[in-house]
Amino acid sequence: MKKRTEKPIYVTEPFLPPLEEFTPYLEKIWESKWLTNNGPYHQQLEQALCEHLGVNHLALFVNGTAALITALQTLQITGEVITTPYSFVATAHSLLWNNIKPVFVDIDPVTMNLDPNHIESAITSQTTAILPVHCYGNPCNVDRIQQIAAKHKLKVIYDGAHAFDVKYRGESLLVHGDLSVLSFHATKVFNTFEGGAIICPDAKTKQRVDYLKNFGFADEVTIVAAGINGKMNELQAAFGLLQLNHIGHAIRSRKKIDCRYREALSGVSGITCMAEPGVTVRNYAYFPVLVGADYPLTREELYQKLKGQGIYSRRYFYPLISNMPMYSELASANVGNLPKANSVAESVLCLPIFPALENSEQQRIIDVIWNPE
């Protein structure tokens, strides 16, 4: 048997600037001995991100899940929350951690986002909020969702884990809703190893968020809320500042990869690339395709075929959250209630996309899809 010599290709690879660029940050942290608790790099990164994203107030977190949990606490959400089954598990888990009942509604199969046409029929006397996801950085129908929320006096928290740097109608997508939450996990377009943030509409809301992420401390002896330890440390913040210096290059590289996939796969029967979102600025966070009945392999077979060639695509998002044991008994999780979400989850495959993906590596992926037998 011929031994494989190509290196594995993963669905994503964190962008790592040259190590020598990080060294001055490390030296300053060592010299100051200020490792966490709202240190200078933490403060600098919050300000830099506000300026870069075009938002007024932003609170950094140790990770995106802690930020989601805290966002729900900030707005004192209770009862039931309408959300999507087509997301990473943290979206719904944040509800369970707050003792909130998720109510799933179906998605739009084109945008893969929560379908506003199904929201109102899911509202009950216990509903207090809507938690949509800008899936793959594709904007939700923010106008329709806001109209529904205003009509029924509901809060809106956007899971914007994929939406870093996305601009919609000339401004940051993250300004919509009562709060928006970001993830800075290593797999994201912008990362701080682990990390996250809450975009706040005003200083008063940010102050409450800051209390909640730091055990509820208002000062050394005053506790004003049952907070958690959700603070981002100085190493993460320093890495984030360095990442910001390279984010333009990273997104431009992703765009080239996205364009090449679209051109190369346009003639493959049974492979459908996700429609390009109608935004002012994209971030090219993922490259999902749908594997249809006209393709010679099923989605599972193509996934395994790529894997056998050392290409590690991902079935984002499969299984649906609603089909997981801790959610499947909910009435809203019934398969008949979510036909489009189930169909997309059974056919989606996210192909590798990251700044360092070489043309030859991308061509390997394209060749396998064109010649799967």
Q: What is the pLDDT of residues 13-67, one digit of tens each?
A: 998 889 999 999 999 999 999 999 999 999 999 999 999 999 999 999 999 999 9
pLDDT of 111 above 70: yes
| Cα torsion through 93, 96, 100, 101, rounded to 10 | 80
Nearest C-alpha neighbor of 247 from the set 5, 31, 29, 52: 52
What's residue 5's pLDDT?
61
> Residue range 159-164: average pLDDT?
98
CATH T-level topology, domain 247-370: Aspartate Aminotransferase, domain 1 (3.90.1150)
Supply angle C-alpha 189, 194, 198, rounded to 5.
75
What's residue 304's pLDDT?
97
Nearest C-alpha neighbor of 213 from the set 200, 201, 198, 199: 198
Mean pLDDT of the chain: 96
- Secondary structure E strands in 87-136: 101-104, 127-131
Give the pLDDT band (50/70/90) at residue 1. Answer: very low
pLDDT of 361 above 90: yes
Listed by start position, the domains of the chain span: 19-244, 247-370
What's residue 4's pLDDT?
54
For the chain, where are the alpha helices, taking DSSP H only?
A: 19-32, 40-53, 64-74, 90-97, 142-152, 203-212, 234-244, 247-265, 299-308, 339-347, 359-370
What's residue 146's pLDDT?
98
> Residue range 72-86: average pLDDT?
98
pLDDT tens sequence across 234-263: 999 999 999 999 999 999 999 999 999 999
User: In the structure encoding, which two tokens stand for residue 229, read together?
Assistant: 């330890």
Nearest C-alpha neighbor of 365 from the set 293, 267, 260: 260
pLDDT of 180 above 70: yes
> Class of the 19-244 domain?
alpha beta
pLDDT of 103 above 60: yes
> Residue range 131-153: average pLDDT?
98
Do the strands 311-312 and 9-10 form a parallel or antiparallel pair, or are they unpaired? parallel
What's residue 277's pLDDT?
85
